[in-house]
C-alpha cells in the first residue's frame, strides 16, 4: 500500500511525534507514505474566502492525482477540508471549471480520480482490524481510554463519509485492538475547542474543559486523539492553560498512533512519547500496570 | 603610465570617502537594528535593553556547547550555501558563481597588495595564473549576474519582487565587471601603453630590436600599432619573441590567457587608435575603480549588504535556540534579518498558503512580500488604512507552518517575524478578524454597513457569493420548522462563559434573521464568529438545512463587508424604534 | 467480530430487510428484524426520534369525536375492533401488541432506559402545559410524577431561569384546582448565571457531571418544605439518566421526576442515543447519513435501493423493504396544492378528495382532521395495497404513522402504532417471504 | 354611567383616525370596538399605500385622492410607511392597448409614472417573470395598518379619549330625533351598560348597516371579500402590480419581512362569516405566479381575508365596479340628527375620510377648531411600535436586559415587547389575551404560526400572573384557533409539515383538544 501523506501545516513543527509515530506504526503493515509538495488544506481560509479554501484543497488533490496516489492524512481537520473541497468540486460545475483554470497555470487539474482517507479508516478498513489485532504484542489491558472523535472528520456525514455521524464506532474499535478499554462518555462527539483558539480563548478552553471533566467523570485515564489540532488542544493547550491547583486533575492526551505503537511494542523513541507536553507517566496506576511500559 | 591607486590623490580621496560612507552606512544600519521596533511592546523595551540582551545572548552562546555550531554554520551554510542547494539548484549555481567569483576577485585582484602579494611573492597581475584566473572569476560573476537577471525576468511576478535598490546593485556589479575587462582589453591594444613599457623596461637596443618586439606584440599580444614599417615576417616575429622572452615575459604572459579580455581586444582593433589617443584605458580604469568605490559606498544601502548580514544571520540563527524567543534580544535580530533578506522568493514558493494568493490576489499573503512590508511597518512610517488591512489579512492567513523558515537560504527565522508582525498589527488595531469583529456588536456592525450604503431598500446583490448563495436563497432556510434542535446541540450556546462572552444569538435565530431579511444583523453576531464549525447543527437538522455552511457563508460575507469599514469612524446609529 | 460498518460494507451483500425511516417505527422494525436474525440495513435522516416526548402511548381516546378517555387501553382496543374500524390496530391482536411492547421495553431496559407501566391501566402524566396526559408506559425518570399525581401529595415543581419552554408556575397554576399541594420554585441552573436563555439539552449535558447535580440539589433543598416529590423539566441527562435521578433523589431526600415538555425534547435525544448506538451493536447496518433516492426492482423481485445522492451514490440490495418513513414531518408523505403522495414507491394513498376537505375550520376539533387519517392502506400482512386490495409488491411492507385510517394525535397511539405495526410487518415478512424464498431455493 | 361628547363606533383605521382628529380638535370621545382593533377590513388588506396608479383607468377621482393622501401619509406618518416604490408590469398576453394607454391615464390624474425597460424591471426585481413585456415605475409604498391604528388611538387616548374593546353596540336610545344613550355589551364579561352621548359616528365599515339599522336606518352596502396570502420571507423589494384592469391576485406588496399577495373579490352576504378558502388560495397562487413565478413554489405562512364595504348597489358581480370611494352620510335627513356614518373608501385615504367626517360632526357640534391631522405628524408611543416586522429583533440586538428572553423565535418577539403591550392594554383597564398580543406584536405571525411561541407566551403570562387556573389553557386554544383561521387553506408542502408539528405537540403530546370546550 502506498499513499501520499498529507501532514498539514502543524505537524512538522508542533507535533512531529504524530508524523514519526504514524510512520512507525504504518511501516510494519507495509504501508508506504510518500511526501508531496502539499500546501495548506484550506480549512483556516474557509472563514474568510470560500473559493480560496476550495482551491487550496483542490490543489493538494490535484498534486496527488498527478502522482496517482490516494491521500492519507492523520489530521481530521485536513481530512474534512479535503473532503469538503472534493464534495464542492463534484457538486458545483462553475466552481470546478474556475478552480481547474487556476490549477492549469501550473499544469495541474482535478478530475476526482483519487480518494482521501483518514489514518483511522486506513487502519480499520485498508489494513483491517484483524491485522492490527495480530500485530499487538503488549496489549494495554487495564487502561481506560476516551476516544475523542474530532468534528471535521465525522460531520457533515454526507460530505465526509467517515462513519455513522451519530454513533460512530471506528475509533473505539481501533482502541479495543490495542487491548485498552474504550470508555463511553457523553461528550465523546463534541468539539475540542481548538478551532476557536486565538479567536475566543475563553470559549475554546470552556469547550475543552467540558470534555476533560466529562472524560474524568466517565473514568477515562486518558483521551485518545487522531487529529493534530485535537491533540494540541488536549495536550499543549490544556497543559499551558490549566492553573496550578487544578493541574493534578488534568486528563492527559495520547495520539492513537502512539497508543497503537506502544501496544505493538515499538520503541518509545520512534513514537515520540517524550515530546507530548503532558507526560503519560501522569496516567498513574493504570499506565504503570502496563506490561513493559516504562 | 597611470598612477597606481595609492599614487593618485584623487582616487585615494575617493577611496576614503567610499570607505567612510560604507563605514557610516554599516554603523547606521547596525544602530537601526537596535532602534527598530520589530516586535510588540516595543515601548517598554528601550534600546539599551536590546543591546544588553544581544550581548548576553552572544556571551552565553559563545561560552556554551552551541559555540561549536559556529564552524558547522560557517562551513556548510555560509561557504557552501547548502541551504540554497536544498531548494533550488540553479539559484545555488548563480549564487556560488557570484559569491566565489566576486570574493576571489576582491581578494586576489582588488586587494592584491594586501593579500596576493603576501601569499605569492612572485605575483604580478599580468602573469598566469593570475591573469587567467582574473578572467575566469570575472566570467563567473558575469554568468551569475546573467542567471540572476534571467531568473528575475523569467519568474517575474509577486513571488520574486525586485526592488529598485536591487537593480542598482546589479548595475554596479555589471559596470565593475565590464569596465574591468575593458581596461584590460584597451591596455592590450594600446600602443602608448606598449611604448611606455618599452621605455621603462625594454633592454632592446636600436630600432631593429624595437621593430622585432613590436612585430611580436602586434601579432601575438594583440597590440595595435599606428604604423609598422617593416613587413612582419616570421623571422622578425621569432626575433621579437626572443627579445620578449628576455625583457618582457617575466611580467607579461601572452595576453591570450586573458581569455575574455583578449577576444574583446580583438573586437576593439578597428577603434584601437582613436581609443589610444583619448587614453581609453585610463578612462576605463577610472570607471572601473570608481565603480568599485561606488559599490563599496553603496554596500550598506543595497543588496550588497547581505554579504555582511547573511553570514551573521546564519550564524546567529544557526547557533541560537529558536524555541526560546526573548523579545528584547529578538528585536535587533529581526531587524538584522530584514537587512539579510535578499528577496529571493524561496519562501513564497514554498508557502503553504500561497494558493490563497492565487485565488484572492492579495500579495501581502506571500512571505517575500510580507518581509518587505514589515520593514515599513517597523520603521514607523504611516501606512494607509487599506494597506494595513491587506497586510493584516496576509498576516492572519499564515498558518504558522514554519515552512518558510525551513527553506530560507539565509536562515531568517521568518516564522518569528510573522508572529511578531501579528502582535504588532494587533497593537495597531488589526488583530485577527475574529477578534476585531467583536469591537462592535451585531447591531453596531449593521449600522456601519448601512452607513456605507446609500440605498434604504434591502440589498442582496452586494452580498452574493460566487458559487453558493445559501444566505440569500429562501429555499435553503425557509424549511426551518423552529424546532430548536440546532440550538440544543450547539456546544457554543451551551458553553457558559458569563454574559460578557456569551453568544448573542442562537443558530435558530440566525435562520430567522435570514428569513426576516435581516442578514446584516446576523453578519457581526458572536454566534457567527464564535462558531466552532463542529457541524452538530447541520448534522442534526431534521429539515436538512445546512446551518453550518450558512454560518460559514455569513462569515465570508461579513468579512467582505467589514474589512472595508473604517472601524475608527464615528457614525450615527440609526434608532430603529423611531 | 466484524459488524457491518456504515463507512465500509460489502456492496454485494443482499440484505433480508431494508428499513427506511428512523423514527420509532423504523427503529422498532430494525430491532425486531435483528432480534430475528435477519440481516438488516436501515436508512433515514438523523432526527427521526428527536420529536418524541419519551412517553409510550398505546391508546387512550376512542372514539375521538367523543373525546372518550379510557383507563384501560386494552378495552379501548377491543371497543375499536367491535366497531369494525379499519384502524391498523384492527389487524393485530392484543396479545401481539403486548408482545411487541414487551420486546421493545426489554430492549430499552437493557440499554439503560427502564420503562414503567401498569399492565391494564393507562398512566396519568403531568405535562409542561399543565394538562394530564394518559399514556401507557413512561420512562422511569417520569414514574414518580405518576405516583405524585395519583396521591396529590405535596410536591415542588422546579423550573430554571431562562428555560423559556417550561414554567413551574404555569404547571402549578393550571393544576391548582385538582392539586392544591403543588408549589412552583424558580432557581438559576448552576453555571448559567448571566445567560439570557438556556436550552434543555445543554442542561441535560451539564447534569451528567456530579458537581452540577450537587450544586442543583443545594439550591432546591432549602426550599423543599413539606414537599414529598420534586418535579423537574425533562432535562435529567441523556446518557446517565437513571443515575442522575437516583443521585438527585438521594441528595434531596425525596423522589424526583421529570415532566415532559415540547421539542427539542431531551427524552427524544435519549432514545436517539440508545437506538443509534445499541442497534448497530446488535448488527444493524445504519446508513444514517444517507437517503434513499430511488428504488428499482430486480428480476428476482429484490429491491435495488439507490442510496445517497450526487457524488457518492450506492446501490443496496434487499429482499424486502419496510417503509417506516412517517408522515409529513418524516417526509414519508409529501404534499403540494393538489394532493399528497408517497415519494419513494409512489404508492396509492387513501386521502380526502381535495384540499378543501383536508382540515377542519377548528384546529382543536376533537374529531381530527381528515388529512391525518390519510396514508397507505395495507393488507393483513401490512403490505401496501392497490385499489383492488391486492398487495403492490409481495415484499414491501409499511409500518408506523404512514398508515391510513389512524389519527395518532387524537387517539394517542403514536408509539404503540409504530411498535405494533413494525412487529407485525417483520413477522409477516418472515412468515410470508422467508418461507417462500426458502421454498423457491429448495 | 359613562358620558362622552362623541361616541365613535368601530376600531379600524377610520374610527381611530376619527378619534385622533377629534382629540386634536379638543373633542374627547369614546371609541367602542366589538372585537379588537383592525379586526375588519383595516386588518385584512395588503397594507398598500396607493400611489393612485391602480385607479387611473377606472376611478380617476380615487386616483387623485390617493396621490394627495399618499403624500401626506408618507410625510406625517413615516414610521408606518416603508417607501418602497412600486412597479406596474404586464406579461405576455396582457392587453397591449391598456399598456400603451397607461401613461396617459396617469398623466390625466397627476399620478407620476415612468416607463422602464422590462430588463431594468427584472434587474430591480429579480423574481419577476421573464415574460414581462412592459413596466412602469410608480410611487407606491407599503404601510403597516396595525401600527397606524395603534398610534392613532394611542394619541387620542393620551389626549383624554377612551377605547373600549370587545364592546358591542346593541341599541340606541333615540329621543327627539337624537340618540341620547347607546347600549353596549362587553363580550368578555357579558356586562351591558349605557353610554350617554352627544354625537355618534358610525365607523363600523362593513358593519355600518348593522349599526345604523339599530337606529332604523338602512345603508346600502355590498360586501366583497378579499383574500390575501403571506409568504414566509420577503420576495420583492417594491410593490409589484399587474398592469391590467383590476383583477384577482395582481398586487404583490412587500411588508417588512414578508410579501403579501392578493387579492380576490367575492361578494358575501354576511361580513361576520368569512374565511379564506382553498379555491381562493389556489387562484391567487396560480394567477400571481404568472407575474412572479417563484410564488408557485414559495412557502406561505398565512392566508387572511378582509371584507370591503362597498357603498351603493348594482355594479358587476364581483363588486369591482362599485366605487371604492368613500361615503359620508349625515343621517339628519333620516331623522337621527346626531348620527353620522362613514363607510367605503380605502386605507390610503383613511385620514381624509376621518377629516371630512370630523368636519361634519364638528359643524353639528359647533366646534370650530380646524383639522390638524393634515399638518401634525403622528407621534410614536410605547406599546404601539411592536407590530413592525423586524423591529423587535433590531431593538433586542441593539441591547437588552439580561432577563429579556425571546418569546417568539420566528418573528423574534421579546419579553419586553410583550410587557409593553400588556401595560398599554392594562392602562385601558383590560385583561390581556394571547390574541391581543398577537395583534400588537408579531407574535405567532411567523413560520410556526404560534406552535412554539404560543406555549412560551402562555407560560410567560402565567409567570406574570395574568392567568389563573386553566385560563391560559383556554386562551391558548383561542389563540391557536385565531392562527388556524389563517393557515388551514395554505397547508401544503413545508407549511403542512409545520402544522403537523404544531398538532403533534399540542394534541399528540399535550392533549389540548381534550381541554377545549367543544363548539
Give the CA angle between residues D203, D204, D205 to the nearest 5°: 95
Close Cβ partners of B309 (under 8 Å, ≥ 6 residues apart): B336, B337, B339, B340, B410
Q: What are D36's three cell numbers?
A: 379588537
- Largest Cα separation within chain A, whole Å, is 58
At residue D518, the pLDDT reads 56
CA distance A24 to A14: 18
| Chain centroid to CA B371 | 8
Nearest to A203 among B355, B401, B492 (CB): B492
- Tell me whether residues D481 and C336 touch, CB distance under 8 A: no
pLDDT of residue B461: 39
* A48 within 8 A of B559, measured Cβ to Cβ: yes
CA–CA separation, C68 vs B562, rounded Å?
Answer: 62
- Of D384, D473, D482, D474, the C-alpha closest to D435 is D482
- Residue B3 CA to residue A279 CA, distance in Å, equals 75
Could you tell me if D101 and D244 are in contact, meaning their C-beta atoms sit under 8 angstroms apart? no
Interval D314-343: pLDDT, tens: 444 444 444 557 889 999 888 899 999 998
Angle, nearest 10°, between helix axes C168-175 and D471-485? 110
Q: Which residues of chain B lie closer than 8 angstroms to D392, CB-CB? A: none
pLDDT at position B387, please? Answer: 86
**Taking all residues of chain C, what is their mean pLDDT, rounded to a whole number?**
91
* pLDDT value at residue A269: 87
- Please state, in angstroms and rounded to a whole number, the distance separating the CA atoms of residues B210 and B247: 12
Span A38-46, average pLDDT:
94
Angle, vertex CA A71, rays to CA A68 and CA A76, nearest 5: 165
Q: Are strands D406-408 and D413-414 parallel, antiparallel or unpaired?
A: antiparallel
Tell me phi and psi for residue B137, to 5 degrees. Answer: -65, -40
- Determine whether the interchain pair A155/B536 forms a contact, defined as Cβ–Cβ distance below 8 Å: yes
Q: Does B352 touch chain C (CB under 8 A)?
A: no
Question: Mean per-residue pLDDT for C377-394?
Answer: 94
- Collapsing DSSP states into helix, strand and coil, what is residue A94? helix
Find, among C233, C257, C263, the residue nearest to C166 by Cα. C233
Considering only residues A127 and B464, tell me which one the structure prediction assigns the higher pLDDT. A127
pLDDT tier at A122 (50, 70, 90 boundaries)?
A: very high
Q: What is the C-alpha separation between C190 and C217, in angstroms, rounded?
A: 10
Residues in chain C with CB shorter than 8 Å from the CB of D285 are 337
pLDDT at C2: 46
Within 8 A of D238 by CB-CB distance, chain B residues are 457
Q: How far apart are CA C115 and CA C118, in angstroms?
A: 10
The size of chain D, in residues, is 519
Neighbours of chain D (3+ CB pairs under 8 A): B, C
> Which of 79-98 (A) contact C at CB < 8 A?
86-87, 90-91
Tens digit of each residue's pLDDT (9 = 90 or more) over A185-228? 999 999 999 999 999 999 999 999 999 999 999 999 999 999 99
Structure confidence at residue D488 (pLDDT): 87
pLDDT tens profile C408-440: 999 999 999 999 999 999 999 998 776 655 444
d(CA D265, CA D248) in angstroms, rounded, equals: 7
What distance, in Å, lies between the first and last C-alpha atoms of chain B?
96
Q: CA-CA distance, B360 to B484, in Å (whole number)? A: 37
Exposure string (b/e) for C307-343, b if CB count within 10 Å is 16 or more? bbeeeeeeebbbbbbbbbbbbbbbbbbebeeebbebe
Tell me which of A113, A161, A207, A218 to substitute to probe the interface with C (most C C-beta atoms closer than 10 Å): A161
Give the one of A87, A163, A186 whose C-beta lies nearest to C311's C-beta: A87
CB contact under 8 A, B481 and D494: yes
Mark yes or no for CB contact B496/C195 under 8 Å.
yes
Say how many residues make up chain A: 294
How many residues are given for chain C?
442
Q: Do C362 and D404 touch (CB under 8 A)?
A: no
Nearest residue, CB atoms, C310 vs list A90, A213, A214: A90
Q: How far apart are CA B346 and CA B367, in angstroms?
A: 9
pLDDT along chain D (519 residues), means of 10: 92 95 94 91 90 89 92 93 93 92 93 93 91 94 92 92 92 92 89 94 92 91 90 90 88 89 88 88 92 90 88 51 72 90 90 94 93 93 79 89 90 93 84 90 88 94 93 93 89 91 93 79
Convert B228-295 into a string of H (helix), E (strand) and C (coil): CCCCCCHHHHHHHHHHHHHHCCCCCCCHHHCCCHHHHHHHHHHHHHHHHHCCHHHHHHHHHHHHHHHH
Report yes or no: B498 at the C interface, CB cutoff 8 Å. Answer: yes
Nearest CA to B471 out of B532, B512, B525 is that of B512
Give the gap in angstroms from C-alpha C12 to the nearest C-alpha of chain D: 37
Using one digit for the tens of pLDDT, what is the confidence trace for D7-62? 999 999 999 999 999 999 999 999 999 988 998 888 888 999 999 998 998 888 88
Whether residue C196 lies within 8 A of chain D, CB to CB, comes out as yes
Interface membership of B523 toward A (CB under 8 Å): no
Q: What are the counts of helices (DSSP H) followed by strands (DSSP E) for chain D?
A: 14, 22
Facing B481 at nearest CB: one of D390, D394, D497: D497
Amino acid at each position: 500500500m502506498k499513499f501520499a501523506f498529507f501532514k498539514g501545516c502543524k505537524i512538522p513543527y508542533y507535533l512531529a511525534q504524530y508524523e514519526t509515530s504514524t510512520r512507525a506504526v504504518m511501516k510494519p503493515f507495509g504501508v508506504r507514505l510518500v511526501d508531496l509538495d502539499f500546501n495548506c488544506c484550506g480549512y483556516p481560509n474557509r472563514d474568510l474566502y470560500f473559493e480560496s479554501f476550495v482551491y487550496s484543497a483542490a490543489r493538494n488533490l490535484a498534486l496527488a492525482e498527478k502522482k496517482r496516489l490516494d491521500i492519507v492524512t492523520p489530521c481530521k481537520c485536513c481530512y474534512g477540508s479535503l473532503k469538503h473541497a472534493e464534495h464542492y468540486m463534484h457538486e458545483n460545475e462553475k466552481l470546478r471549471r474556475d478552480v481547474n483554470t487556476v490549477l492549469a497555470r501550473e499544469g495541474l487539474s482535478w478530475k476526482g480520480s483519487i480518494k482521501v482517507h483518514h489514518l483511522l479508516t486506513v487502519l480499520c478498513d485498508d489494513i483491517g482490524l484483524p491485522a492490527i489485532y495480530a500485530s499487538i504484542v503488549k496489549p494495554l489491558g487495564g487502561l481506560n481510554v476516551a476516544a475523542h472523535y474530532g468534528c471535521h472528520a465525522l460531520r457533515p456525514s454526507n460530505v465526509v463519509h467517515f462513519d455513522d455521524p451519530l454513533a460512530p464506532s471506528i475509533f473505539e474499535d481501533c482502541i479495543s485492538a490495542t487491548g485498552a478499554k474504550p470508555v463511553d462518555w457523553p461528550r465523546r462527539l463534541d468539539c475540542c475547542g481548538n478551532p476557536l483558539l486565538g479567536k475566543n480563548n475563553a470559549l475554546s478552553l470552556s469547550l475543552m474543559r467540558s470534555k476533560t471533566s466529562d472524560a474524568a467523570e466517565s473514568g477515562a485515564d486518558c483521551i485518545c486523539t487522531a487529529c493534530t489540532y485535537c491533540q494540541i488542544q488536549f495536550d499543549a493547550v490544556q497543559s499551558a492553560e490549566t492553573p496550578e491547583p487544578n493541574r493534578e486533575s488534568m486528563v492527559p492526551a495520547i495520539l492513537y498512533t502512539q497508543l497503537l505503537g506502544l501496544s505493538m511494542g515499538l520503541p518509545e523513541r520512534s513514537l515520540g512519547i517524550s515530546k507530548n507536553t503532558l507526560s503519560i507517566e501522569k496516567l498513574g496506576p493504570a499506565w504503570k500496570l502496563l506490561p513493559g511500559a516504562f | 603610465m597611470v598612477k597606481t591607486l595609492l599614487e593618485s590623490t584623487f582616487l585615494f580621496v575617493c577611496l576614503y570617502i567610499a570607505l567612510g560612507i560604507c563605514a557610516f552606512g554599516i554603523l547606521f544600519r547596525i544602530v537601526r537594528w537596535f532602534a527598530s521596533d520589530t516586535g510588540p511592546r516595543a515601548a517598554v523595551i528601550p534600546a539599551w535593553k536590546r543591546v544588553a540582551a544581544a550581548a548576553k545572548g552572544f556571551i552565553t552562546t559563545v561560552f556554551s556547547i552551541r559555540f561549536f555550531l559556529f564552524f558547522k554554520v560557517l562551513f556548510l551554510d555560509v561557504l557552501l550555501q547548502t541551504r540554497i542547494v536544498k531548494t533550488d539548484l540553479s539559484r545555488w549555481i548563480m549564487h556560488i558563481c557570484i559569491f566565489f567569483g566576486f570574493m576571489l576577485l576582491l581578494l586576489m585582484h582588488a586587494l592584491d597588495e594586501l593579500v596576493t602579494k603576501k601569499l605569492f611573492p612572485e605575483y604580478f597581475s599580468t602573469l598566469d595564473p593570475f591573469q587567467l584566473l582574473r578572467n575566469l572569476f570575472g566570467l563567473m560573476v558575469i554568468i551569475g549576474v546573467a542567471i540572476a537577471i534571467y531568473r528575475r525576468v523569467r519568474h517575474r511576478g509577486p513571488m520574486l519582487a525586485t526592488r529598485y535598490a536591487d537593480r542598482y546593485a546589479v548595475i554596479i556589479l555589471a559596470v565593475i565587471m565590464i569596465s574591468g575587462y575593458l581596461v584590460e582589453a584597451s591596455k592590450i591594444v594600446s600602443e602608448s601603453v606598449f611604448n611606455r613599457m618599452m621605455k621603462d623596461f625594454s633592454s632592446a637596443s636600436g630600432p631593429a630590436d624595437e621593430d622585432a618586439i613590436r612585430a611580436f606584440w602586434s601579432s601575438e599580444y594583440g597590440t595595435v600599432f599606428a604604423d609598422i614599417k617593416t613587413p612582419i615576417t616570421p623571422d622578425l616575429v621569432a626575433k621579437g619573441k626572443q627579445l620578449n622572452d628576455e625583457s618582457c615575459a617575466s611580467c607579461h604572459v601572452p595576453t591570450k590567457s586573458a581569455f575574455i579580455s583578449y577576444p574583446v581586444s580583438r573586437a576593439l582593433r578597428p577603434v584601437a587608435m582613436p581609443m589610444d589617443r583619448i587614453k581609453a584605458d585610463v578612462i576605463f580604469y577610472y570607471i572601473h575603480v570608481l565603480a568599485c568605490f561606488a559599490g563599496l559606498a553603496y554596500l550598506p544601502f543595497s543588496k550588497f549588504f547581505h554579504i555582511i548580514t547573511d553570514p551573521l544571520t546564519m550564524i546567529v540563527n544557526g547557533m541560537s535556540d529558536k524555541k526560546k524567543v526573548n523579545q528584547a534580544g529578538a528585536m535587533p535580530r529581526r531587524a538584522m534579518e530584514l537587512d539579510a533578506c535578499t528577496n529571493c522568493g524561496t519562501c513564497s514558493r514554498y508557502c503553504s498558503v500561497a494558493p490563497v494568493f492565487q485565488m484572492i490576489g492579495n500579495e501581502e499573503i506571500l512571505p517575500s512580500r510580507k518581509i518587505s512590508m514589515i520593514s515599513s511597518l517597523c520603521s514607523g512610517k504611516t501606512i494607509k488604512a487599506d494597506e494595513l488591512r491587506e497586510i493584516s489579512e496576509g498576516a492572519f492567513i499564515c498558518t504558522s507552518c514554519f515552512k518558510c523558515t525551513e527553506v530560507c537560504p539565509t536562515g531568517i527565522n521568518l516564522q518569528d517575524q510573522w508572529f511578531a508582525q501579528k502582535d504588532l498589527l494587533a497593537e495597531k488595531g488589526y488583530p485577527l478578524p475574529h477578534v476585531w469583529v467583536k469591537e462592535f456588536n451585531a447591531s453596531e456592525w449593521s449600522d456601519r454597513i448601512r452607513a456605507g450604503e446609500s440605498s434604504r431598500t434591502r440589498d442582496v446583490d452586494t452580498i452574493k457569493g460566487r458559487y453558493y448563495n445559501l444566505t440569500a436563497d429562501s429555499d435553503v432556510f425557509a424549511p426551518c420548522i423552529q424546532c430548536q434542535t440546532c440550538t440544543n446541540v450547539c456546544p457554543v450556546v451551551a458553553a457558559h462563559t458569563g454574559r460578557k462572552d456569551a453568544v448573542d444569538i442562537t443558530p435558530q435565530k440566525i435562520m430567522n434573521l435570514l428569513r426576516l431579511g435581516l442578514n446584516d444583523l446576523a453578519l457581526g453576531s458572536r454566534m457567527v464568529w464564535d462558531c466552532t464549525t463542529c457541524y452538530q447543527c447541520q448534522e442534526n437538522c431534521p429539515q436538512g438545512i445546512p446551518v453550518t455552511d450558512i454560518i460559514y457563508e455569513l462569515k465570508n460575507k461579513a468579512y467582505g463587508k467589514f474589512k472595508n469599514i473604517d472601524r475608527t469612524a464615528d457614525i450615527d446609529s440609526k434608532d430603529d424604534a423611531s | 467480530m466484524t459488524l457491518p460498518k456504515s463507512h465500509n460494507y460489502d456492496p454485494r451483500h443482499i440484505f433480508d430487510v431494508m428499513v427506511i425511516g428512523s423514527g420509532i417505527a423504523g427503529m422498532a422494525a430494525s430491532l425486531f428484524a435483528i432480534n430475528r436474525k435477519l440481516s438488516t440495513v436501515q436508512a433515514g435522516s438523523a432526527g427521526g426520534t428527536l420529536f418524541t416526548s419519551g412517553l409510550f402511548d398505546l391508546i387512550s381516546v376512542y372514539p375521538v369525536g367523543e373525546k372518550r378517555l379510557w383507563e384501560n387501553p386494552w378495552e379501548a382496543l377491543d371497543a375499536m375492533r367491535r366497531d369494525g374500524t379499519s384502524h391498523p390496530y384492527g389487524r393485530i391482536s392484543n396479545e401481539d401488541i403486548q408482545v411487541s411492547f414487551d420486546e421493545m421495553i426489554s430492549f430499552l431496559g437493557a440499554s439503560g432506559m427502564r420503562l414503567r407501566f401498569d399492565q391494564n391501566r393507562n398512566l396519568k402524566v403531568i405535562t409542561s402545559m399543565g394538562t394530564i396526559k394518559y399514556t401507557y408506559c413512561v420512562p422511569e425518570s417520569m414514574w414518580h410524577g405518576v405516583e405524585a399525581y395519583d396521591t396529590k401529595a405535596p410536591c415542588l415543581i422546579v423550573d430554571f431561569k431562562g428555560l423559556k419552554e417550561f414554567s413551574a408556575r404555569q404547571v402549578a397554576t393550571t393544576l391548582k384546582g385538582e392539586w392544591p399541594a403543588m408549589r412552583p420554585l424558580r432557581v438559576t441552573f448552576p453555571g448559567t448565571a448571566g445567560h439570557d436563555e438556556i436550552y434543555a439539552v445543554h442542561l441535560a449535558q451539564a447534569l451528567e457531571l456530579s458537581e452540577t447535580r450537587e450544586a442543583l440539589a443545594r439550591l432546591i433543598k432549602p426550599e423543599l418544605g413539606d414537599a414529598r416529590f420534586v418535579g423537574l423539566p425533562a432535562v435529567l441527562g441523556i446518557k446517565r439518566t437513571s443515575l442522575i435521578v437516583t443521585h438527585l433523589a438521594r441528595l434531596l431526600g425525596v423522589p424526583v421526576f421529570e415532566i415532559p415538555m415540547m421539542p427539542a425534547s431531551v427524552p427524544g435525544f435519549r432514545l436517539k442515543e440508545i437506538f443509534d448506538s445499541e442497534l448497530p451493536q446488535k448488527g444493524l447496518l445504519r446508513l444514517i447519513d444517507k437517503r434513499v433516492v430511488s428504488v428499482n426492482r430486480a428480476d428476482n423481485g429484490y429491491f435495488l435501493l439507490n442510496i445517497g445522492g450526487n457524488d457518492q451514490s450506492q446501490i443496496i440490495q434487499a429482499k424486502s423493504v419496510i417503509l417506516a418513513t412517517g408522515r409529513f414531518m418524516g417526509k414519508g408523505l409529501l404534499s403540494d396544492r393538489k394532493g399528497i403522495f408517497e415519494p419513494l414507491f409512489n404508492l396509492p394513498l387513501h386521502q380526502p378528495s381535495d384540499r378543501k376537505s383536508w382540515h377542519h375550520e377548528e384546529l382543536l376539533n376533537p374529531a381530527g382532521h381528515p388529512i391525518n387519517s390519510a396514508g397507505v392502506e395495507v393488507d393483513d400482512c401490512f403490505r401496501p395495497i392497490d385499489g383492488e386490495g391486492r398487495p403492490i409488491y409481495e415484499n414491501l411492507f409499511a409500518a408506523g404513522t404512514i398508515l391510513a385510517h389512524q389519527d395518532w394525535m387524537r387517539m394517542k397511539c403514536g408509539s404503540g402504532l409504530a411498535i405494533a405495526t413494525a412487529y407485525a410487518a417483520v413477522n409477516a415478512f418472515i412468515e410470508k417471504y422467508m418461507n417462500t424464498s426458502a421454498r423457491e431455493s429448495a | 354611567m359613562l358620558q362622552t361628547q362623541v361616541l365613535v363606533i368601530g376600531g379600524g383605521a377610520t374610527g381611530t383616525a376619527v378619534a385622533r382628529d377629534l382629540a386634536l380638535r379638543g373633542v374627547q370621545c369614546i371609541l367602542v370596538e366589538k372585537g379588537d382593533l383592525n379586526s375588519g377590513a383595516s386588518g385584512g388588506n395588503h397594507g398598500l399605500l396607493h400611489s393612485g396608479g391602480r385607479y387611473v383607468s377606472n376611478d380617476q377621482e380615487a386616483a387623485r385622492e390617493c396621490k394627495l393622501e399618499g403624500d401626506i401619509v408618507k410625510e406625517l406618518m413615516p414610521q408606518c410607511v416603508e417607501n418602497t416604490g412600486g412597479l406596474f408590469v404586464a406579461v405576455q398576453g396582457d392587453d397591449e392597448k391598456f399598456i400603451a394607454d397607461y401613461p396617459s391615464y396617469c398623466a390625466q390624474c397627476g399620478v407620476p409614472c415612468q416607463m422602464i425597460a422590462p430588463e431594468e424591471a427584472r434587474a430591480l426585481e429579480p423574481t419577476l417573470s421573464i415574460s414581462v413585456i412592459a413596466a412602469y415605475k410608480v410611487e407606491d409604498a407599503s404601510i403597516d395598518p396595525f401600527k397606524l391604528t395603534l398610534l392613532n388611538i394611542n394619541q387620542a387616548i393620551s389626549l383624554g379619549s377612551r377605547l373600549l374593546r370587545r364592546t358591542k353596540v346593541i341599541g340606541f336610545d333615540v329621543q327627539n330625533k337624537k340618540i341620547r344613550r347607546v347600549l353596549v355589551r362587553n363580550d368578555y364579561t357579558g356586562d351591558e351598560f349605557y353610554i350617554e352621548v352627544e354625537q355618534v359616528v358610525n365607523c363600523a365599515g362593513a358593519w355600518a348597516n348593522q349599526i345604523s339599522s339599530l337606529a332604523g336606518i338602512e345603508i346600502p352596502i355590498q360586501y366583497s371579500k378579499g383574500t390575501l396570502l403571506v409568504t414566509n420571507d420577503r420576495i420583492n423589494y417594491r410593490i409589484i402590480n399587474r398592469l391590467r384592469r383590476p383583477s384577482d391576485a395582481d398586487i404583490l406588496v412587500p411588508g417588512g419581512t414578508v410579501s403579501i399577495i392578493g387579492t380576490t373579490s367575492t361578494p358575501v352576504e354576511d361580513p361576520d362569516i368569512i374565511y379564506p378558502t382553498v379555491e381562493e388560495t389556489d387562484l391567487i397562487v396560480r394567477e400571481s405566479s404568472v407575474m412572479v413565478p417563484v410564488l408557485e413554489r414559495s412557502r406561505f405562512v398565512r392566508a387572511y381575508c378582509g371584507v370591503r364595504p362597498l357603498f351603493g348597489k348594482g355594479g358587476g358581480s364581483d363588486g369591482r365596479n362599485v366605487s371604492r370611494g368613500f361615503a359620508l352620510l349625515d343621517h339628519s335627513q333620516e331623522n337621527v340628527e346626531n348620527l353620522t356614518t362613514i363607510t367605503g373608501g380605502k386605507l390610503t385615504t383613511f385620514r381624509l375620510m376621518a377629516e371630512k367626517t370630523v368636519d361634519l360632526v364638528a359643524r353639528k357640534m359647533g366646534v370650530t377648531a380646524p383639522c390638524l391631522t393634515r399638518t401634525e405628524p403622528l407621534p410614536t408611543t410605547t406599546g404601539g411600535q411592536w407590530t413592525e416586522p423586524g423591529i423587535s429583533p433590531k431593538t433586542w440586538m441593539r441591547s437588552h436586559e439580561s432577563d429579556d428572553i425571546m418569546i417568539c423565535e420566528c418573528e423574534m418577539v421579546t419579553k419586553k415587547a410583550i410587557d409593553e403591550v400588556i401595560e398599554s392594554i392594562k392602562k385601558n383597564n383590560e385583561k390581556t389575551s394571547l390574541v391581543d398580543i398577537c395583534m400588537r406584536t408579531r407574535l405567532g405571525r411567523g413560520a410556526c404560526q404560534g406552535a412554539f411561541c404560543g406555549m412560551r407566551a402562555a407560560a410567560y403570562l402565567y409567570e406574570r400572573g395574568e392567568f389563573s387556573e386553566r385560563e391560559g389553557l383556554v386562551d391558548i386554544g383561542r389563540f391557536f384557533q385565531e392562527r388556524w383561521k389563517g393557515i388551514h387553506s395554505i397547508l401544503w408542502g413545508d407549511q403542512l409539515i409545520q402544522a403537523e408539528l404544531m398538532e403533534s405537540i399540542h394534541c399528540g403530546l399535550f392533549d389540548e383538544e381534550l381541554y377545549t370546550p367543544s363548539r
